[in-house]
Amino acid sequence: MFYFLGTVGIFVIEFFLINHARAIFSRFPTIYIILDGAFLIALGWMIFFSGNKVFSSFVAMIFGINLVFFILMINYLIKVWLFKDSAIKDVDYIVVLGTRIMSYRIPPNLKGRLDKTIETYRILKCRPKIIVSGGYSSSNPQSEAKMMRDYLIQNGIEPEIILTEDRSLNTMQNLEFSSVKIQADWQNSYFPQIMIITSEYHVPRVNRYSKDLCLRPNFVQAKTLDLFKYPAMFREFTAILWYHRYTLMTTFIMMFVILVSTLVS
């Protein structure tokens, strides 16, 4: 009876953590981390003190799955909290990454990136070209890139130095298509210096994608208000999980195989 109630209790807590992950993390990410960590400690205690082989094996699998997600979450949060801007130095191109636009107005997250671009551009002694990257993400007939370009021009950036990339529909395509734009525009024999400007919560994933594409850009992060930052961080975390989905599926299948092997042995 004890092990049956324990199993039911684990399922209830697991359902609560999954079902309320977005709501809690989007407001209080630290509290969610504490809850998840406490659940892991409780699971570890059950494994150590349980005398039932079946129950211990089941708890061990749940512990392993939660531990993987917990490590990925902590790793992402640490990268966001500890990331430092690259030294602002002369570059040849500034790439500004777009974000989903659901109306005819620039959303706060994207406005922060564009304002940071204007600030950075005015600091630089050189006059790099600016690539605004973003396709059509809503019923708005204008692309993200077009709206970004218009905003920069309205705030004093010369139209002739702005290049638009309006084909991309996600972050990886932002980087890929912007690279194509740079290759088509670049006339010199040496490799151009590139700076990417995006929101701080977005940098870890952009950095990962940049390495996959063999890019080595500098990064400057645009600060985001907590009201918009934490929900965006949760979306970023889910995007990271999707990026690693095959590795995670393989890991969980191996855990299940080990559990079954333990039970039948």
Domain 93-224, CATH 3.40.50.620 — does that match? yes
Helix (H) or strand (E) holding 196: strand 194-199
DSSP codes of every residue in 120-180: HHHH-SS--EEEEE----SS-SS-HHHHHHHHHHHTT--GGGEEEE----SHHHHHHHHHH
47-105, pLDDT tens digit by residue? 887 777 778 888 888 999 999 999 999 999 999 988 888 888 889 999 999 988 877 88
Give helix 2-19 / helix 53-82 axis angle, nearest 10°: 20
Average pLDDT, the chain: 89
- Identify the pLDDT of residue 139: 66
Please check the confidence at residue 205 and state whether its pLDDT lies above 70: yes
Higher-confidence residue: 264 or 168? 168
CA-to-CA dists, residue 236 to 25, 30, 97, 240, angstroms = 12, 16, 14, 6
Please check the confidence at residue 21 and state whether its pLDDT lies above 80: yes
Please check the confidence at residue 39 and state whether its pLDDT lies above 90: yes
2-17, pLDDT tens digit by residue? 777 888 888 899 999 9
Q: What are phi and psi of 93, to 5 degrees?
A: -140, 140
- Identify the pLDDT of residue 1: 67
Task: Return d(Cα 214, Cα 153) in angstroms, integer.
Answer: 31
Please check the confidence at residue 215 and state whether its pLDDT lies above 80: yes
Name the nearest CA neighbour of 165 among 141, 182, 187, 153.
182
What is the pLDDT averaged over residues 213-232?
88
Cβ atoms of 55 and 9 within 8 Å: the answer is no
24-38, pLDDT tens digit by residue? 998 888 999 999 999
149-177, pLDDT tens digit by residue? 999 999 999 999 999 999 998 999 999 99
The pTM assigned to this predicted structure is 0.86
- Identify the pLDDT of residue 211: 86
Q: What are phi and psi of 188, to 5 degrees?
A: -95, 165
What is the pLDDT averaged over residues 104-114?
90
What does the domain layout of the chain look like in residue ranges?
2-82+243-264, 93-224
Longest dimension (CA), the chain: 75
